Amino acid sequence: MVKKTKNRLERWEVAIIKAMIAASPRKNDQDILAYFTRPTRSINHGRIKDIRDGKTHSNVAPASAEELAAFLDEWPNLDGKGLHLLGDELLIKAREAMLQAVQAFNNPRAFFKSEVFIVTAVIAWTYLMHSHFRHLGLDYRYRDRKTGSVLKTRHGADKYWELGSCLDSPFCPLDEAAKTNLKFLIEIRHEIEHQMTRRIDDLISAKLQACCLNFNQALKNLFGKEYGLDRELGLALQFAGIAKPQRDLLLKDAELPSNFLAAHIAFEDNLPETIIRDPQYSYRVAYVEQSINSKGKADQVVEFIRPESAEGQEISRVLVKESERRKYKPKDIIETMRKEGHSSFNQYAHQLLWLEADGKNPSLKFGVELRPGDWWWYDKWLEYVREKLNQK
């Protein structure tokens, strides 16, 4: 049974309280309480009396005069949100790490946006989960399965759960779509760790946006609305619109890394449609340039359109049309051609066709090899096969 211990005094704080009780001039319980209660933690004044009377924490030695002086010199030791730099260290680090991730991604001079965002955001989520587990009084350290002893790092520190273990915990407060979003980003992080990446921002930007919104919502749900990040950063602006040549370039087939496409497809292969379409897994936003004659809307940079409206349905149709191109396995090409009347078309005939056309030459863009020996065909190849068979 896990008990919520958000309002519990730390051992070092008890030592300071004992030093305050013994110090001169004498402080009463209410005076001492003022040093240890804050917006994220409310301590009952009876806890101070219990310590004074020796009813609790009798095994904790008082802090030294030097330690008490250092505490008083640094007090209140709070950040701008009223979070204590020691007591709320995990929460402060979580907020700061996510802000750093977003600022790095929004930096117009940055070239490795997604890579920096993912690595830093994973750290932010890890600290946030650790802070939540700590407030629950949950032990989130790795332990030896046989002895139960706490595992240590190479340099002797306790080894705490990584984000994947936090997500698998029954005490994880996130819903399935938000957890799936993070598990996807962890998979991409593994790819980032081992090799260089190229132009992956467009491929996964919807997942990154969902990650930001999920983090902000979890932050507010777990610790209070006043600690949300939505007031810290506004909408990113750009210096120029997108000209037609730029738009055409953006909509062209990007030479995305095959290892990322493979990881992307493998991860989403068995996901239910409800998760795929959930904005907590992948949050998509469409920017549409438009002229507005209405006085009330003339200065709006962003207009939110309901998905069920006629405009929303049309935008959804366009987004689906412009999404990642459909891919086919050889058997899909063969089955399609047979349904269209070419009953004799088989695997051997298909192989002869692509060998003759040099179909797997990357420059022709008939398909893509997602991993060694795993070739997928595009619609362009399907049309080529259809045309060749109809000529016979």
Do 141 and 67 fall within a single domain?
no
pLDDT at residue 49 above 50?
yes
Residue 14: both structure tokens together: 């008890």
In three-state secondary structure terms, 158 is strand
Are 58 and 101 in contact, with CB atoms under 8 Å apart? Answer: no
Do 59 and 102 fall within a single domain?
no
- What confidence category does residue 190 fall into, taking pLDDT thresholds of 50, 70 and 90? confident
Do 29 and 170 fall within a single domain?
no
Do 161 and 244 fall within a single domain?
yes
Do 109 and 240 fall within a single domain?
yes
Asked if residue 262 belongs to a domain, the reply is no
Specify the pLDDT at position 107.
Answer: 85
pLDDT at residue 310 above 90?
no
Can you list the alpha helix ranges (DSSP code H) found in the chain? 11-22, 29-33, 45-52, 65-74, 89-106, 113-136, 163-168, 176-194, 201-223, 244-251, 258-268, 273-276, 310-321, 330-339, 347-356, 379-390
pLDDT digits (tens, 9 = 90+) for 164-179: 999 999 999 999 999 9
Asked if residue 277 belongs to a domain, the reply is no
pLDDT at residue 20 above 90?
yes
pLDDT digits (tens, 9 = 90+) for 118-165: 999 999 999 999 999 988 889 999 999 999 999 999 899 999 999 999
Do 191 and 42 fall within a single domain?
no
Specify the pLDDT at position 355.
Answer: 93
Specify the pLDDT at position 171.
Answer: 94
Q: Using omega within 30 degrees of 0 as the cis cutoff, is the peptide bond preceding 76 cis?
A: yes
Specify the pLDDT at position 348.
Answer: 93
Do 60 and 149 fall within a single domain?
no
Specify the pLDDT at position 261.
Answer: 61
**Out of 192-201, 205-214, 326-335, 376-385, least confident range:** 192-201
Give the residue numbers spanning the domain of 201. 89-251
Asked if residue 198 belongs to a domain, the reply is yes
pTM: 0.60
**Whole-angstrom Cα distance, residue 192 to residue 201?**
13
Specify the pLDDT at position 266.
Answer: 67
Mean pLDDT of the 366-392 span? 86
